[in-house]
Amino acid sequence: DVKDTYCAAVVQTKKTIAYPHVGKIAAMTAHPVYQNLKLESYIGTPIFVQGKVYGTLNFSSTQVKSSNFEPHEREIIELMAQSIGRFIAAHQTEMERQRVEDELRRQHRRAQLFAEVTLKIRQSLQLEEILHTTVTEVQKFLQADRVIVFRLGFDGSGTVLKEAVVPPFPVIQGQDIVDPCFQQEYLEQYFQGRVGAIADIEKANVEPCYVEMLQQFGVRANLVVPILQKQELWGLLIAHQCSGPRQWTDFETELLRQIADQIGIALAQAQLLERETRQRQELARSNVELQQFAYIASHDLQEPLRKIQAFGDRLKVKCSEALTDQGRDYIERMQNAAGRMQVLINDLLSLSRVTTKTQPFIQVNLSAVVHNVLSDLEISIQETGAQIEIEDLPIVEADPVQMRQLLQNLIGNALKFHKAEEQPVVKIYSQLLMSLESPVLSSDNQKQVPKNATNNGDFCQILVQDNGIGFEEKYLDRIFNAFQRLHGRSEYPGTGIGLAICRKIVERHGGSITANSESGQGATFMITLPLKQDQGDSTE
């Protein structure tokens, strides 16, 4: 419990606290930490995340510090805490983004299922097209002189949204209509789903003001059916006979009722689509903002980190003789931690650049890219004694910088995760996957072609195979997530971002990445890419 530690005061005061010699502070000698652990010296500072204390960064020792903590020592630990806080905040933001994406994906799947079920009752999700098709087809089928969709207001007024009318009767689409003898009972009748049918307005038992309103539009008979949307009265589907009286049949009435129900369902679906489109746009905008934030945050972290590294170097050079072995050990640990953070920041910047710092897609010779990568990895290859086997690789339309980063990450991993007692063997080869329409595409290969692929051309599959330590395939999804590691940092260095960068690069190119592996049996990473990109994708 933090209340029983020296950190409690840091959390409470939200300030850096330092004790060079706890034993000289009478009020502290009874502290549980001093009683149990005999920690004589301590310095701690709060870690803030989004303005709130998340925790503390502290250093303590059973040794008495010979002098008070200097201002630069306080500055170092405070800078470290700021860096940690920013990193945690960025990580939390990323997790929240992933949560929102998952929720939007679930909503989208529900909408797709709903769309499939209602496909037979509507041909479009565009309100204009839905209403236009409705009035046109109903007018043709009923041979009515006019059919309209009337958007109803709460007071009985409204607007004619769509109309299908035959000459010479007047066009009333777009007109606002006010019923001079409106009564609330009319709305109640339609809300309950009841149909209004008048065979001849001149003989019907209706108010004279209502007859006058209909006559100005040339109406002699009408059939009115309510359009309900989620149990709310949205509007009316109305058929007019202007050439003379008309006795509306039960079949015609039921037909209009069914069509009105379809309109209500289509309206709900159109609104759902509009909302999802807006959410997708908001998600896309949020993704851009988050990517920019990750880049800026990672970039801003470098300045305090440089200070930490600089002060660490100064301490090591100027104060090394004055420090104890433990003090020098602390400096060494601090510099190692700063070095790891520098690697992490660089990886974060690389991850954000996948979508923020892109180049147009051009013809890229992957064989040439691999040879350049091997040149960069020459020292690692020599140190591990690795045997590299390369087959001819295809030419693809891609971002050349990202293709180099993709292959360097995968080949670098193959070299890094090798067995200590066995010479590493890395094979890089490819195979052609025919287009989605091709009947010769095997079922195994079909699994590797992205489900959302729309390219007309063929796909290629690049395989990077090694004989290293491998991994259990239950971790397959995990390894492509940022900050996920299957091994300790002491065993294999790294930040756990490399494969996440690979996945982002492949997805940006309209492809997919997966792997086959068994623990201790090596791994094969399979990248599926289109040979040609769709027009308009090159600057995404």
Per-residue pLDDT tens for 328-376? 888 888 887 777 666 666 666 666 666 655 677 889 999 999 998 898 8
Question: Residue 6: CA atoms inside 13 Å, Cβ hemisphere, count?
Answer: 29
pLDDT at 14: 93
Cβ–Cβ under 8 Å, residues 368 and 345: no
pLDDT at 504: 86
pLDDT at 115: 47
Inter-helix orientation angle 71-117/325-356, to 10°: 30
What is the rounded distance in angstroms from the CA atom of residue 444 to the CA atom of residue 493?
35
pLDDT at 297: 58
Ranges in the chain, pLDDT < 50: 109-118, 120-121, 435-457, 488, 539-540
Six token digits for residue 202:
């001149």
pLDDT at 17: 92
pLDDT at 492: 60
pLDDT at 77: 93
Cβ–Cβ under 8 Å, residues 385 and 418: no
DSSP designation for 31: S
Task: Give the chain's end-to-end CA distance (angstroms, integer).
Answer: 50
What is the rounded distance in angstroms from the CA atom of residue 448 to the CA atom of residue 441?
11
pLDDT at 110: 42
Six token digits for residue 513:
């990445």
Q: Which domains does the chain have, with CATH numbers?
A: 2-98+290-339 (3.30.450), 122-248 (3.30.450.40), 358-530 (3.30.565.10)
Distances from the Cα of 412 to the Cα of 370, 439, 468, angstroms: 11, 37, 12
What is the rounded distance in angstroms from the CA atom of residue 525 to the CA atom of residue 408?
13
DSSP designation for 499: H
What is the rounded distance in angstroms from the CA atom of residue 504 to the CA atom of residue 353?
10
Six token digits for residue 362:
């051009």
Six token digits for residue 492:
């294999």
Inter-helix orientation angle 325-356/250-318, to 10°: 150
pLDDT at 288: 66
pLDDT at 246: 94
DSSP designation for 170: P
pLDDT at 451: 42
Question: Residue 428: in which H helix or E strand, if any?
Answer: strand 425-433
